Structure 1
Amino acid sequence: MTDMVVVAVVSGTTRAESVLVEAARRADESDTVVHVLYVVGLEWYARLELHLAERLGIPTGSETIRSICERKADRLAAPALEEYEAVGRVGNPIDEIVQYAEQVGADTVVLDGAGHWGGGWWRRSSSLLEQLRERDVPVVPVY
């Protein structure tokens, strides 16, 4: 197996299975691994932290939210993939995707090209895909 990684972004989509299938196909072709990434944006983080702390009485903090994101990634990936690494991140989604892709040496980032990314994910003047490409992230959109 090589040191290269295919990152499947499963947050911001209702079609995670399609993203995971494409990521698995690409990983098989290049004999590499799939990392399943679930990112919570800062707006969602604030709402989730408030919900957990005030309504449910659960301790919060970025590590707690990251752990929740990791479990979501795992829950989405388990039915579709045999081998993968589930990863949760909190922050500006574009920055988190770019930083994670650089951190693991991703040769491909697969995501939903028509995803519902919500407010605050990107500048209104350009799409998420355009911003990732501007930052030299090797993006493969799934439609």
Structure 2
Amino acid sequence: MRINENNYVDKAEEAIIELVKDAKERYGVRYRDKLVTTSKIRNLLAMTADIYNQVLVCQEEVLSDDICGRIEYLRVRFMYEYGRDDSKERKVKNFIDKTNILVLLKEVGKTKHNYILFSKYMEALIAFHKYYGGKEQ
């Protein structure tokens, strides 16, 4: 999946709609209990935002090795959250799979523009998750 300035909001909405649709089909009216919580997504966004603040002040389009290392560590944290999700519903796994977060993080590379776009995509995911019935924890 590729995102850009013109489609990242639509892609985020599509991913959340798909997650909600799948949960409704599987679990019926109790589907909200089977989705990843808004709080969990916010925790992932907090890590993303931390790096985002550093990226914004970066003068170059090519990110420093230090920032790239932090982005790689962020990818590791997403993989960790994915791996530790042993719930029957696979809440975090489904979220990461449907939203293509790991793929998009790899595509950031060393580019400031790509990381900013990724951060905006994460914010859009939270907004649509809440809009379409995501539950707080």
TM-score by length of 1: 0.32
Higher percent of residues as strand: 1
Higher percent of residues as helix: 2
TM-score by length of 2: 0.33
Q: Which has the higher contact order (CA 8 A, sep 6+)?
A: 2
